[in-house]
Amino acid sequence: MTFSTMISTMGAGMLRTVGIFVLTLIGSLPLGMVVALLRKSRIGPVRGVIRVYISVMRGTPLMLQLLVWYFGPFYLFGWSIRGWRFPALIVGFVLNYAAYFAEIYRGGIESIPKGQYEAAEVLGYTRAQTFLRIILPQVVKRIMPSVTNEVITLVKDTSLAFTLAYQEVFSLAKQISASQTSFMPFVIAGVFYFIANYVVAFAMERIEKALDYYR
């Protein structure tokens, strides 16, 4: 396999990696907020269920969770898993990262002084208006560094898709390296990941600066 062919093949794998990354963010960022709000629910059983969910997601390896989501329907219900590989990947990534984002959101929400809630109530704001217009904008600004770290980690965690033999860039690097007895595919994969992380870090930095209303 020539170097140009190797780049082309792994470039196609990188597009699949980007697909996992984008779909995970689209699903986990809003779901994480829902989980964070349920975590603060006044209903005890709801809080308990959410605590268990977060504990399981954060306390077990993502690789194991992906295997459970892929093979679980077959072993538990006898369902066919044909065509289930990519959806299982997305479900596993989204639910895992939603738990981490939920804790980041919760920390940001709890960092807001209670006096702001009281002031909003005096001004006649509803709870929803208080959260959306006063609390949420401050929370987003405060949690951006933590969210940035998680997003960068997600770029690297997409390599775990090889667990389900999904043909993303890392899986292709392993296959090509084994067939060509060459270390070069891993170098190329490393460059791809580095560039992706650089782009993500740059974009998140720009977002942080845009939210810096003290500049």
At residue 91, does pLDDT exceed 90?
Answer: yes
Of 121, 110, 122, 143, nearest to 29 (Cα)?
Answer: 143
Nearest to 187, CA basis, from 6, 1, 5: 6
Domains of the chain, CATH where assigned: 3-210 (1.10.3720.10)
pLDDT of residue 124: 83
pLDDT, tens digit (0-9, with 9 covering 90-100), for 104-163: 999 988 888 888 888 888 888 888 888 888 888 888 888 888 999 999 999 999 989 988
**For 37-53, how does the pLDDT look when each residue is reduced to its tens digit (9 = 90+)?**
999 888 989 999 999 99
For residue 96, the Cα-to-chain-centroid distance in whole angstroms is 7
Identity (one letter) of the amino acid at 37? L
pLDDT for the residue 80 = 83
- How remote is the C-alpha of 74 from its chain's centroid? 26
Q: What pLDDT score does 213 carry?
A: 58
Give the position of tokens 């697909």.
19
Please state, rounded to an integer, the average pLDDT across all residues of the chain.
Answer: 88
Instruction: Supply 178's token pair.
Output: 């084994």
pLDDT beyond 60 at 73: yes
